[in-house]
Chains A and B, each alone.
Chain A
Amino acid sequence: MILSIITSILVFSILAVSADTNKNNQNNHPNSIKSYNQGRQLEFALGNVKCMNDFTTTYLNDLIAVDPSDTLSVDLTKLQSDLTQMQTYESNNDSDSLRNFIKNNYDPDLKTARQDANIWIKSNWRNTTMEKRSDLKNNHKDLKSTFDSCHFTSLKDYGTGRINAFTSILNEYQTKADALKAKGIDTTTLNQLIIDAKSQIITPMQNALDSSNDSATAKQALQNYCLYDGCKTGTNFHFQAKWEITKLDIAFSRINNNENATQVQDKITQLQTDITNAKSGLSSVGTKKYTDAQNKQIWDNIKEANQLVKDMSKILK
């Protein structure tokens, strides 16, 4: 009997400590989802890079085996070290660095390797025996077939990862909207924004990806739909700006209906101006990518409006 009581107390103590730990973990939940999805996206992005790298480096090795070339060897070493660098970015979940490295280093290195390979072929093709030419052609054919399949699959995987990431991000925002609703805030417009983001970005991207039947169409599906501001062509939803402006609209309405609003009339007028300017800027951008000037104009107004809301929140009950 005594033992059962003691055991119960022990179990209770363990559960209390466990509950405390779980509470702390739950507080970090949204960030862990975001980093998880970012990590998955980078993993898929690197999968695509590996397809290209495997093809090019194997082909360069084939050419070097026929006739050694210092230039091609340098290219080969560069592509291999590039891959190592990109793997480091992936393991660090550093998407910005990976993106910049591909754009500024890897793409130029691939281009150089391709040009050097073509120069090698022009210089050596006539001196190469028929047998070796045939081998090179056959190897290239096999490599290209493997590459095409790998490239297409990796792009589709990347697309699926991107869709999952966008979905998780919007779910996080839905949680934020629900939390605001629990504080007595009308969140109809925020909920609608999330619905719009799904219908204008996630659904069409999923459809485009599902109907893609080669690398070109899969790549187009990936590059045509951005939740934020990453698409050179296609649709940029600018979710973050829209979310903040929608919240500012709600705050403005709440402040304007406050019985003490006259105490902060100047700030209310300025808030309305800032919101109008931010909306106007966003409207002129449409679904295109921001220019630097547009980015600054929109976000300066959003930040100033937020400061005004903060100031007024201290004054108004």
Chain B
Amino acid sequence: MSKTGIIIGVIVVIVLLVIGFYILQGQANKSPKTPTEIVKTPTQPPYPSDKNIPTNNQNNPTPSTSPVAEPSTTTGDPALNALTLDSQSSEQDDSTAIPQEDTIPTPSG
């Protein structure tokens, strides 16, 4: 019983280490923000002037004066990106690789 208990204990520790490793790895991938950024985000909104945009601006937008209307900050159309050039940027040469010299020597006489 004690031997079995030790074996079970070792296996449980290994399994917990593997699972722990994957959980930590997953969290690392999901949270690219630095701790500093996380602290700053709630207290420093990126666009303070958003609060001052009048509600009727939706009907009459003024891009030149509104910081949120700047086109370069949009995420763009991902579907359009998907339609751009494939990695192959020219037509392939798919000619056959066959010897053209079909004539074969023949003995005379």
A interface, CB within 8 angstroms of B: 2-3, 6, 9-10, 13, 16, 41-42, 45, 48-49, 52, 55-56, 59, 95-96, 98-99, 102-103, 106-107, 110-111, 113-114, 117-118, 121-122, 125, 133, 136-137, 140, 144, 147, 155, 158, 162, 176, 179-180, 183-185, 215, 219, 222-223, 226-232, 238, 240-241, 243-244, 247-248, 250-251, 254-255, 258, 263, 290, 295, 299, 302-303, 306, 309-310, 312-317
Which B residues are within 8 Å of any A CB, using their own CB?
8, 11-12, 15, 18-19, 22, 71-72, 74-86, 88-109
Bound-complex Cα distance A125 to B109 (A): 8
Nearest B-chain residue to A216, judged by Cβ = B102
B96 touches A312 (CB 8 A): no
Partner of B11, one of A10, A16, A315: A10
Q: Is the CB of A185 within 8 A of B82?
A: yes
- A299 x B89 contact (CB < 8 A): yes
CA distance A306 to B15 in the complex (A): 50
CB pair A111 B101 closer than 8 Å = yes
Complex Cα spacing A140 to B103, Å? 14
- Pairwise interchain contact B107-A121, C-beta atoms closer than 8 A: yes
**Shortest Cβ distance from A119 into B: residue:** B105
Which among A96, A114, A314 is the interface contact of B101 at CB below 8 angstroms? A114
Which chain A residues lie closer than 8 Å to B77 at the CB level?
Answer: 254, 258, 312-313, 316-317
Q: How far is the CA of A290 from the CA of B77 in the complex (A)?
A: 34
